[in-house]
């Protein structure tokens, strides 16, 4: 009986320890969040920000707060350690910041006017490594048909560093998605509705790792790990897997995708931690939360916004 009692106590202790570990992991984990930005607009005299918490069937937007500048450019620069945000203004000023667990907006590095004045970038996208792919204006200057491309990061201390920029014989992207270890760079053919090409691009080494061309022209894409999902405005879709050798393999193609047919259309996707926030400017007050899995790109919840956010 004494032996059984010791075994029971040991089992209870193990069970308690496992539950404590689960609680600690839940407490220290960072929730899925999106940062929303609203600039000065018409009778709106101050720029504001807000943070939303997302889950597959949950959306909650915290009260908005006033920002100290009216920025012209805001993007995620998240690394594995911290969910950095990068801000830039047309006068060459900017900052790096993050939102902590208590939804407090923290500016870590501020760059005064002209500090970031050499900023030809129109498109900035982060990948799973925290590497920023910088894309310049397609007709910024006479570049001989080449495109300005750069590589940057926000370091652990919040410092923004642009490692290099160069001209590459690449076409301006219609869509870019950050993958775990690269960027997916999609370019439509110039002829409308003809086709397009996807490039798997390693920004650190300015190298194309793989590519694939379609005769069908896609209007957008989303990714989750090594799953790539392409769709058209006609609700056609194709799901692909990115293999370790960067081969892009189709696993399912749908002429009329029921996940798209049974929901409102969308033009833009913001992704965080497996949650995809889908919206259009014309339907800004009716965004949807979707989850991408081998089963499809299914809608899980509706969201509501009371302001014009970016």
Q: Name the nearest CA neighbour of 174 among 113, 129, 116, 218.
A: 218
pLDDT computed for residue 112 by the predictor: 95
pLDDT at 169 over 60: yes
Q: Name the nearest CA neighbour of 52 among 99, 121, 114.
A: 99
Instruction: Give the pLDDT band of residue 70 (cuts 50, 70, 90).
Output: confident
Burial (Cβ within 10 Å: 0-12, 13-18, ≥19) of residue 84: buried
Please tell me which residue, 264 or 175, carries the higher pLDDT value: 175
Burial (Cβ within 10 Å: 0-12, 13-18, ≥19) of residue 228: buried
C-alpha–C-alpha distance, residues 132 and 163, integer Å? 10
Please tell me which residue, 65 or 304, carries the higher pLDDT value: 65
pTM of the model: 0.84
Please tell me which residue, 168 or 144, carries the higher pLDDT value: 168
pLDDT tens, residue by residue, 79-138: 999 999 999 999 999 999 998 888 888 999 999 999 999 999 998 999 999 999 999 977
**Any residues with CB less than 8 A from the CB of 214 and at least 6 apart, and which?**
195, 196, 197, 198, 230, 238
pLDDT at 288 over 80: yes
DSSP string, the chain: -HHHHHHHHHHHHHHHHHHHHHHHHHHHSPPEEEEEEE--BTTB-S-EEEEEEEETTEEEEPPPEE-SS--SEEEE---SS---EEEE-TTS-EEEEEE-TT--EEEEEEE-TTTT----EEEEEE-TTSPEEEEE-TTSS--TT-EEEEEEEE-TTS-EEEEEEEEES-PPPSEEEE-SSSEEEEEE-SSTTS-EEEEEEETTTTEEEEEEEESSPPSEEEEETTEEEEE-TTS-EEEEEE-TT--EEEEEEESS-HHHHTS---SEEEEETTEEEEE-STTTTS-EEEEEETTEEEEEEE---SS---
Instruction: Give the pLDDT band of residue 307 (cuts 50, 70, 90).
Output: low
Place of tokens 């048909």: 145
């Amino acid at each position: 009986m004494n032996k059984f009692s010791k075994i029971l106590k040991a089992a209870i202790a193990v069970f308690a320890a496992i539950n404590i570990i689960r609680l600690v992991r839940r407490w220290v984990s960072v929730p899925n969040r999106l940062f929303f930005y609203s600039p000065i607009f018409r009778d709106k005299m101050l720029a504001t920000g807000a943070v939303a918490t997302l889950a597959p069937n949950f959306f909650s937007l915290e009260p908005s707060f006033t920002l100290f500048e009216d920025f012209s450019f805001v993007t995620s620069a998240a690394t594995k350690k911290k969910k950095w945000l990068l801000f830039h203004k047309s006068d060459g000023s900017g900052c790096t910041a993050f939102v902590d667990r208590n939804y407090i907006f923290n500016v870590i590095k501020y760059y005064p006017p002209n500090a970031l004045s050499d900023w030809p970038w129109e498109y900035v996208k982060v990948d799973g490594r925290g590497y920023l792919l910088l894309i310049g204006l397609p007709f910024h200057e006479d570049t001989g048909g080449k495109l300005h491309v750069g590589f940057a990061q926000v370091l652990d201390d919040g410092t923004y560093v642009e490692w290099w920029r160069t001209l590459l014989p690449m076409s301006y992207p219609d869509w870019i998605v950050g993958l775990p270890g690269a960027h997916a760079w999609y370019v439509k053919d110039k002829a409308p509705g003809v086709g397009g090409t996807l490039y798997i691009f390693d920004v650190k080494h300015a190298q194309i790792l793989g590519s694939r061309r379609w005769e069908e022209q896609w209007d957008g894409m989303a990714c989750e790990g090594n799953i790539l999902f392409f769709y058209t405005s006609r609700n056609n879709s194709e799901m692909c897997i990115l293999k370790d050798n960067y081969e892009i393999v189709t696993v399912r193609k749908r002429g009329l995708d029921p996940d798209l047919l049974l929901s409102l259309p969308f033009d833009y996707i913001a992704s965080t931690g497996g949650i995809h926030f889908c919206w259009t400017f014309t339907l800004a007050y009716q965004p949807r939360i979707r989850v991408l899995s081998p089963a499809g790109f299914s809608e899980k919840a509706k969201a509501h916004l009371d302001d014009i956010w970016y």
